């Protein structure tokens, strides 16, 4: 199986996976929903444990966005089961989302999640997939740095906002330093529109216009 990082916009590859919730087929099991698939290097490791707790504490936020979570590492399903039990027993957090046991490495290879210089463990990858099974965002972190889950929630919100309103979201949206929670409208595509926008309200120039949702 080819091992490479997919391109944005490509379809999430079809696969049947073993998880802590049983065997599921992706992306079919998420039909009509957004989902975030995230990999971690290994079970029973400190940074990964903090990440799982952080994802679970935001699971309601993801579900409110019609978005599911799916974890993954190359550990066997028995290890996943014992680890999520440990998290519940020791930390008081129940992991409600499925965790893929990719012990053969097939999913990791299909999504380019194994760094040649880091052994066989998966990197901290994040794939945000839309209801049409298209990969919309990919994030890759090194093993030594934990992810910011609030940013991943923001990414899902921003993608949905952009899709629904045919707009772009500025840096740190909805808390941008220049335009706050406003969004950026598509740029002018002809001279007439550019002239109409010059000096218009809610614009810095004809190519940088924004609006309130």
Q: Which residues contact 70 (CB under 8 A, 6 or more apart)?
A: 19, 26, 35, 36, 37, 38, 97, 98, 99, 100
Q: Which residue has the tokens 């519940």?
A: 88
Residue 129 sits in the same domain as residue 174: no
pLDDT tens, residue by residue, 5-53: 889 999 999 999 999 999 999 999 999 999 999 999 999 999 999 999 9
CATH of the domain at 48: 3.40.30.10
Residue 45 has, within 13 A of its CA and on its CB side, a CA count of 15
Domain span at 78: 15-147
Catalytic residue among 48, 67, 167, 169: 48
Range 200-207, long-range pairs (CB < 8 A, 24+ positions): 204/178
DSSP calls for 33-63? SEEEEEE-S-SS-HHHHHHHHHHHHTHHHHH
Closest of 127, 104, 96, 159 to residue 11, by C-alpha: 127
pTM summary value: 0.93
Residue 124 sits in the same domain as residue 184: no
Residue 23 sits in the same domain as residue 87: yes
Query: 106 lies in a domain?
Result: yes
What pLDDT is recorded for position 191?
A: 94
48 included as an active-site residue: yes
Q: How many domains does the chain have?
A: 2
């Amino acid at each position: 199986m080819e091992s490479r990082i997919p391109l944005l916009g490509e379809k999430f590859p079809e696969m049947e996976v073993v998880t802590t919730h049983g065997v599921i087929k992706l992306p079919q099991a998420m039909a009509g929903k957004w989902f975030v698939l995230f990999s971690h290097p290994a079970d029973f490791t400190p940074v990964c444990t903090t990440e799982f707790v952080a994802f679970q504490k935001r699971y309601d936020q993801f579900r409110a966005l019609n978005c599911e979570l799916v974890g993954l590492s190359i550990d066997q399903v028995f290890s996943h089961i014992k680890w999520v039990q440990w998290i519940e027993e020791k930390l008081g957090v129940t992991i409600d989302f499925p965790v893929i046991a990719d012990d053969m490495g097939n999913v990791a290879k299909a999504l380019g999640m194994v760094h040649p210089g880091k052994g066989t463990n998966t990197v901290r990858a994040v794939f945000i997939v839309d209801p049409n099974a298209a990969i919309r965002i990919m994030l890759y972190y090194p093993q030594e740095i934990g992810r910011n889950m609030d940013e991943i929630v923001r990414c899902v919100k921003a993608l949905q906002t952009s899709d629904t309103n045919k707009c772009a979201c500025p840096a740190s949206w909805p808390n941008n330093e220049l335009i706050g929670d406003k969004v950026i409208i598509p740029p002018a595509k002809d001279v007439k529109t550019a002239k109409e926008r010059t000096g218009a309200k809610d614009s810095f120039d004809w190519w940088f216009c924004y609006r309130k949702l």
